Each structure stands twice: as C-alpha cells, then as structure tokens.
Structure 1
Amino acid sequence: MLSLFSGLDTWLIVSLVLALTFVLAFEFINGFHDTANAVATVIYTKAMTPNLAVFSSGVFNFLGVLLGGVGVAYAIVHLLPVELLINVDTGQGLAMVFSLLAAAILWNLGTWYLGIPASSSHTLIGSILGVGLANALLTEITVAEGVNWQKAADIGLSLLLSPIAGFAVAGLLLIGLKLWKPQSTMHTSPEQRAEEKGKKHPPFWNRLVLVCSAMGVSFVHGSNDGQKGIGLIMLVLIGIVPAQFALDLNSTTYEIARTRDAATHLGEFYQRNADSLSEFLALGKNTRTELPKVYRCDPKQTEATLVALLKTLEGVRNYTEVPDATRIDMRRYLLCLDDAARKVGKLDLLDSREKSDLEKLRKDLTATTEYVPFWVVIAVALALGLGTMVGWKRVVLTVGEKIGRGGMTYAQGMSAQVTAAVAIGLANVFSLPVSTTHVLSSGVAGTMVANRSGLQAGTVRNILLAWALTLPISMTLAAGLYLLVNFIFIN
C-alpha cells in the first residue's frame, strides 16, 4: 500500500490521502448509521447485551466486506456515465469523487443526529446521480447520457421494491408464526416476559434465531454496503494514480490472454450479427481504423476501438511491461467496448442465446479492469466494522420503540430480521445495492401492522419523509458541490 506514494508530487499525495479519508469516513459513518438497524431488534429484545451485539455486528460486517466480492461495487461505479469514467484521471474526475462523498457524508450525519433511519445507499446513489447530471451541464454530454439511466432504473427499482417487500414479507411471516404457535411466549415483549416470568432474556430458540439473524443482517450489510466504499476507492485510485490502477497489474498471462481472446471473439460476434447490428455499430461503414484524437465512447467507433485494443494487447504478457499512458488507453478501450456491448444487449435485435453469449464476453473483457486490491477490502472492512461500534443508540431507540405503538415482541424481531437478511442476501446475488435501513425498518413496521399494534404516525412520517427527500437532496448537494468545485478550481 505504501508504494502508492512513491514518485508522486506532494499535492497528489495530499489529494490521495484526503480522498481516501473521505471514502473511509463515509464507510465509518455508514457503520454507525446503517448497521444500528442490524442490532436494533437483538438489543431491544435483550437477546444480546448492547456491547456484545455491537461488537459482534462489527465483526460480521468486517467478514461481509471481506467475502462479498465486487459485483455491487461496480454496479455503483457504472451509475456514472462511461464518458466520465474514462476520464476519471482528470481534475473533473477528482471533483466528482470529492463532491459526491461530501454530499453523502453531510446528509448521513444530519439524519443520524436526528435519529432518523435514512439510507446510506439511497444517499450515495443520489449523490452519484447529481454529479452525473451536473457533469452533463458542463460538457457536451446530453442529460440522457449524463447518467447510466438503465443501471439507475434497475437500482431505483430495487430500492423501491425492497422496503415494500420487507413490509409485506415480515408481516406475513409474523402472521404465520401466530397461526403456528399462537400461545407461545415468543409473542410477548421483553417487558411482558420480565413482568410475567421474571426473566430478562427471550426463550432459548427465539434468542438463537434473533442472534443468528442479526449477525446475518450484519454480514449481508457488510457485503452490500461495504462494496459501495470499495467502488468509490477504486474511482479515487484510478483518478489520482491511474498508471497503477487502470488495470490489474497482478493479472496473469492467462488472464491477459483471456481479455485478448474476448476482444477477438467480440469482433467475430458483431460480424456474425452484422445484418442486425450494422446500423447501430456502423459496421463496415468506417473506412478509417484510427480513433480520433479526442476520444469519446461511441458505439459507431466499435470496430476502430477493437483494432486499437488488440494492437496494444499484441504480445503483452504482463501489464507492468506496458507504458503508463498505454495502460490508461487500454482501460478506456475496454470500458467503451463494454458500454457498447451493454447497449447492444438491450436491443431487440438478438435472440436470448446471443445475448447470453454477449454477457459472457463482457465478463471476460472486463476481468482485468473490474478488480479490487486486497488492502482496499481490508481498509473498508475495518472502517465499516469500527463504525458499527460507535453511535448506534439513536437509531436503535427509533427502530425498537418509536415505529410501533406497542413494544416489539420476540416474534416481531425475528420476522423483521430474517426478512432483512434474506432480502439483502438476494440483492447481493444479483449485484443490486439495497438499503438495510429501509428493508429492516419497513419489516418492523410490517410486523407492527400484522400484530395490530399500530404505528406511531410521527416516526413513520419522518422515515417516509427521509426516504422521499434523500434522493433529491443528495442529488442537489452533490451537483451543487461539483459545479462549485469546477467553477473555483477547474474553469
């Protein structure tokens, strides 16, 4: 990791340290802002003591980041327009990173201070969208191209549907438990159990499910939210030290050959489907094979980009042998080819088998650009895990006591936590960022309705207000900061 700073100018070192600090601060805040939701029910039901619950949750968050992969990380990154991603090593790229992180941190701290279970995922995605739109205003990119709207729609749908599903599934699960064992002590609250039987802790099996599900939520939260920080750090590293991080310098000769083969097979794929794709990709219509000096991602330059990529990859066995500037160009070619292939995959011109082949080619094509150094994973895991152990009380109080009018029963805690763990786990499988906060708090609300306890209108109103305002406010904050930084420092 220390090799990062070798050969860098002082101002670049300062920029790098500051940017990494911003990302890790965001993850630290995410720890005590979002992860409090993972331990709220287990603390409130007295299944675990607060200190043990928070410490254990921090450990499982750490493990979640460590073992979670990079699918969600790059789903977040690719919300940004590919034009901005291929030029992230410019001043505008750095302004982008600082603006979206500052906006996300400000909103997260504000909602945490008020004890409102707002979503860090929602905040970060809003900030990214705001930067993308602001960048479109400053460049020749249209608003339609300023954000990867297809990816934004997919993520937006997951953010919208996951709390609705959490509400419904948790409520139905509680109803099922009531029908299965209506007289069980799991339908009592900690206060009722203490009053009736003089016992502080829940029954053994209820306690086991509460503890296991809480740790499950912590683990999947780490693997989902931790990846967002990983994606941001990769943007920072590529923006400030692109020569070292544009491509995975540890790629083996086999992996480089696989990238080369994927580019070759991609060209063959397009020729095989030339009748359908010739208009969209301008196949055979560009007689020039050289790319223009001002390089932009354009599907109609696909043939020329393939030629340029294969030329730079010719004879390469190790990326460290490639000049710095060439590595940066190779990353641009790979990202643009992947972007064009993604757009081709959305067309109604190919059958399902061909689309499946194209998706496999995309994975091989980006295998050496969509990677994460191990120290990045460790740094994010530590920041998220340590953040979990700080400042959790405000949100725990809201989730445990202020959503429903009645006290939370053990069965309600189990239903909400199991639902959240499964929902977020499934989101990880499909590389979709979701909100732990929204899923769990809506799950608690669903159990309150199913239990006929009723909801506290003030708290529910605040949560819904935060849910509705997070996206526009974070977008506005990030866009405003990005425009301001560009006005003061760049233009």
Structure 2
Amino acid sequence: MLDLFSGLGTGVAISLALALFFVLAFEFINGFHDTANAVATVIYTKAMPPHLAVIASGIFNFFGVLLGGLGVAYAIVHLLPVDLLLDVGSGSGLIMVFALLASAIVWNLGTWYFGLPASSSHTLIGSILGVGIAHALMNGIDISKGVNVKKATDIMLSLLISPTLGFLIAAGLLLLLKKLWSTSRMHMTPEERKNTDGKKHPPFWTRVMLIASAMGVSFAHGSNDGQKGIGLLMLVLIGVAPAKFVVDLNSTTYQIERTRDAARHMSDFYISNEARLTQHIKLGHSNGTITLPPIFKCDVEQTLPTIDALVGKLDGIKTYEQLSMDDRRQVRRMILCLDDAAKKVSKLPELSGHEKSDLEKLRKDLNATTEYAPQWAIVAVALALGLGTMVGWKRIVLTVGEKIGNKGMTYSQGLSAQITATAAISIASFTGMPVSTTHVLSSAVAGTMVANKSGLQGGTVRSILLAWVLTLPITILLSGGLFWLGAQFIH
C-alpha cells in the first residue's frame, strides 16, 4: 500500500484518497448496523462486557473477511452494467462510485440515528441499481439492459428469503431447547436471573454457547458483508490507478495461462455449438489473431474476434509486468466483454445443465487474474468494520434486546437467533450470495419472541419493516439523482 499514490498527479491522488475514504466510511457505518447486530445479544444478555465483545467481534470479522473469498464482492460489482465497468476509469465511472457510496452512507446514517436495524446490504444494492438505471435512462438504453437483472433478482430473492427462514428456524430451535431443557435457567431474561439468583451473567454453558455463537455471527458477517466493501474498493482502485490494479500484477504464469486457455476453450465451445447458438445470439467470426482498439464497447458479435485478440495478447506472457499499461487495460476490457457474452450464452434454453456448468467454470478461470483484491485492501475493510462496531453499537443493541418483543430477550432466545444467523450467513457466503446480517438476526429474534409467546412491539416492527420497504426506492432515487447531477457537472 505504501506506493499506492506514487506516480499519480496531485488531482488524481486527491480523487483516490477521497474515494478510498468514502469506501472505508461506508464500511465503518456498516459496523454501526450489521456488526452491532452480531454482538447485540451477547451484550444484552451480559454474556460478555460490551468493550470486550466488540473487540472480539472485530477480530472474528477480520478473519471472516480474510478467509471469506471474493464471491460476494464481485457478485455486488457485477450488478453494475458492463458499460460502466468498462469505463470505471472515466469521469462518469468515478461519479458512479461517489454517487452510490454517498447514497448508501446517507441512508445508513439516518436509519442508525433512529436505532433501526436497517440493512447495509439492501442499501448498497439499491444504490448500485440507482446508478445503473440512471445510466440507462441518460443513454437511451433499455433499463433491463442497464442493470444485471438476473443477478439483481437473485440477490433480492436471497434478501427476501433469508429473513423468513431466519424467523422460522430460530423459532423452531427455541422450541426445541425449551422441550429438551424446559427447567433450565437459559430460559430466563437477564433481569429474571438477577432477581432469582442474584447473578448478572448467564449460566456457564449457556454463556459459553452465547459467546461462541456471537463470534460465529461476527465471522460469518465478515465473510459476507466485508466482501461488499472489498468489491467497491477494487472499483475505486481500478478506476483511479489502472496501471497498478486493472489486472493482478502478482498473477503467476499459471494463472495467466488459465485465463488464456479459458478463452480458447470458450471459442471451441461456441464454434462446436454454433448451429444451436446462432438461432438466438451471433458471436461473430474471426479470421486469425486481430488487434482491437484500446477503447471499445462490448459487442456480442465480436466475441470470437475478441477471444483471438486476448489469446494473441497473452501468448508468451509470463507476468503482466511485460505488458504496457494500455495493454493491461485492454486485457481487462476484453475479459469483461467475454465474461458478459458468456453470461448471455448461459441463459439460452438450448444449453443443458452440464454445458452451463462447464461455461461457468470457464468464466471462473477467465476472471482468475481480474477478480482479486490486495491483502491490504482486505485488512483495511476489516478494520473499518471493527472500528464502526466499537463506536455505534449501543443504539442497535437496545433495539434488538428490548424493543422487538414485549418482554426482554432470554438467554435461549439470543442463542437460537445467533446460531440461526451464523448458519444462514455462512451458507450465503459459501454460495457467493450477499445477505443482510441485520435482517437475518432481527427476524430470528422476532421468531423467538413469537415462539416464546413474548409478543412483538408493533411500533418497532413497523419501523423496521418501513425501513426495509423504503430502503430500495429511496437509495435508487438518491444514487440515481446524484449520478445524474455529477454527469451534468462533468459535461
């Protein structure tokens, strides 16, 4: 990271510093919402002192980000239209980054101020969709092509289904605990425990499980939500400092060969299935190795020529340092276009499930040297999350512990909610789908309140649902409006 600003002009360096600040500020505020949820139950039940809990949570978040991979990071990035991804280094690309981050930060701060467990994931996705829709409208593009509709639909379904499952599973788990250990003190609230036994902490084994499950939520949160910040950070680095980040300069010869060979295999696949594919999509024809202009738009009819150009560019290359900055940028553009074409082909009904699976594996190999993140970027995001948790946890802890149900949370309710959230978020991270820690955990708490016959506080539930309903349209309008204003300014 030390040479991050070396070789950059003053204006570019300032833009880069400001953009990095915005990304890390978003992750810091994300800590107010989502990581605070990860430790809300363990703090409320007095299983851990607050400051020890948030420090431990920060450590587990750090390792979650470190070990969580990048599937979720690039699932978020690819919500953006490929035209914006191609031109992320342009003025409009930078306006896009600032618009979506400003929108997400404003909404997150507003909902945090009122103590509402609003979703940072939902907020970020709405902001991304906003700039994509605005870009489409401003350029006369069909909105369905202005955003990655399939990816957006998959993500929105995961955000909708995961809280429902969290509600049901946590309720079922609590009922199971009450059946197996009906007389256990784990079913007391902290206040009841104090009045009965004069103790402020949960029973020993219940306390151990509460701490373990809270750290599990923190780790799972880092592996899912932390990746969103990494994806945004990479957009900034690629846009402002392309010479260093447009491709992974630390790629090995083997990784570069994987990228080149994946392109070749894609060409073989398209040619062998040409009769079936041309009924729906034309991939063009190639007459040998060609050279594309440095700046070009994706055109599915240029797919085969683009493959030839990419293979020609990478033949004999052992390290990306051998390529000029313009050549590296062109390699990334070609990979993005080929990936976009492969996604379109994979949607065709003529392909079998096995063929679609093969194409997906080729896409993964193709992107091996472009979908990456430096270690310092991962660490920076993890630290921002942890620090945000330490500063803003109190409002959310009070909402989760006391304001969702009519009664305070029992130890077993907290345990059921945390185990459910850990499992749900971990599965989502493994499959590369972003989910909301906030929604999963708060809905799990609500499920335990219903199962425990504690009732729900209508006002809080209505406020949380209202925040959930309003997040998407407000962030879409806010980020789209900021993008439009920024575009007017640069033009």
Q: When the two structures are superposed, what TM-score results if normalisation uses the length of structure 2? A: 0.97
Quote the residue 2:481 is aligned against: 480
1:5-61 C-alpha deviation (Å, 9 max, x unpaired): 122111000000000000011111111221111111111111111111111111111
Q: For 1:291 and 1:254, how far apart are their aligned partners in 2?
A: 25
Structure 1 residue 363: Cα displacement = 0.8
Match of 2:417 in 1: 416
Using the alignment, how far apart are the partners of 2:30 and 2:272 within structure 1? 48
RMSD: 1.4
Q: Could you tell me how far apart the structure 1 residues matched to 2:53 and 2:312 are?
A: 56
Shift of 1:277: 1.1
Letter in 2 for 1:448: M
**Equivalent residue runs for 1:256-405 within 5 Å:** 256-283=256-283, 295-405=296-406
**1:102 partner amino acid:** A
Quote the offset at 1:295 in angstroms. 2.2
CA offsets 1:241-280 (integer angstroms, 9 cap, x no match): 1121111111111111111111111101111211211244
Unaligned 5+ segments in structure 1 are: none
1:73–1:231 contact (8 Å) kept in structure 2: yes
User: Matches of 2:407 and 2:240 in 1, distance apart?
Assistant: 53
SS in 2 for 1:406: coil
Flag the 1:303–1:280 CA change in 2: closer, same or farther, 3 A.
farther
1:156-171 equivalences under 5 Å are: 156-171=156-171
**Offset of 1:324 from its aligned partner?**
0.8
8 Å CA contact 1:280–1:300 kept in 2: the answer is no
Which residue number in structure 2 is paired with residue 86 of structure 1?
Answer: 86
Provide the identity percentage. 65
Q: What residue number does 1:426 align with? A: 427
Give the aligned residue type for 1:389. Answer: M
- Note if contact 2:294-2:326 (Cα within 8 Å) is conserved in structure 1: no
Cα distance in 2 for partners of 1:235, 1:198 equals 54
Separation (CA, whole Å) in 2 of partners of 1:336 and 1:306:
10
Separation in 2, partners of 1:228, 1:353:
30
Letter in 2 for 1:210: L
How far is 1:187 from its partner? 1.1
Aligned residue type for 1:271 = I
State how far apart, in whole Å, the 1-side matches of 2:249 and 2:293 are. 27
Instruction: Note the C-alpha offset of 1:311.
Output: 1.9
Return closer, same or farther for 1:89/1:293 CA change in 2, 3 Å cut-off.
closer
C-alpha distance in 1 between matches for 2:382 and 2:280: 43
Local SS of the residue matching 1:88: coil
Contact conserved, 2:217 with 2:418, CA < 8 A, in 1? Answer: yes
CA contact 1:80–1:147 (8 Å) conserved in 2: yes
Alignment of 1:125-274 (within 5 A): 125-274=125-274
| 1:3 match: secondary structure | coil
Aligned to 1:54: 54
Distance 1:45 1:374 in 2: 36
What CA distance in whole angstroms lies between the structure 2 residues aligned with 1:39 and 1:474? Answer: 27
- 1:101-120 matches, within 5 Å, as 101-120=101-120
SS at match of 1:478: helix
Deviates more, 1:385-394 or 1:280-289: 280-289
Structure 1 CA distance, aligned partners of 2:251 and 2:283?
31
CA distance in 2, matches of 1:284, 1:12: 38
CA contact (8 A) 1:107 1:474 kept: yes
Pairing 1:17-96 to 2, within 5 Å after superposition: 17-96=17-96
Q: C-alpha displacement at 1:294, in angstroms?
A: 6.5
Contiguous gaps of at least 5 residues in structure 2: none
Code of the residue aligned with 2:395 in structure 1: it is R
Amino acid at match of 1:148: N
Write the letter of the residue equivalent to 2:414. Answer: G
How far apart are 1:283 and its partner, in Å? 4.5
- C-alpha contact 2:16 2:237 (8 A) present in aligned 1: yes
* Aligned 8 A contact 2:285 2:305 in 1: no
Moved over 3 A (4+): 283-294
Q: Is the 8 A contact 2:33 2:396 kept in 1?
A: yes
**Aligned length, in residue pairs:** 490
Q: Letter of the aligned partner of 1:158 in structure 2?
A: S
Matched residue SS, 1:390: helix
* Alpha-carbon distance in 1 for matches of 2:319, 2:295: 28
Partner Cα distance (1:284, 1:420) in 2:
48
Structure 1 letter corresponding to 2:376: W
Distance 2:73 2:235 in 1: 10
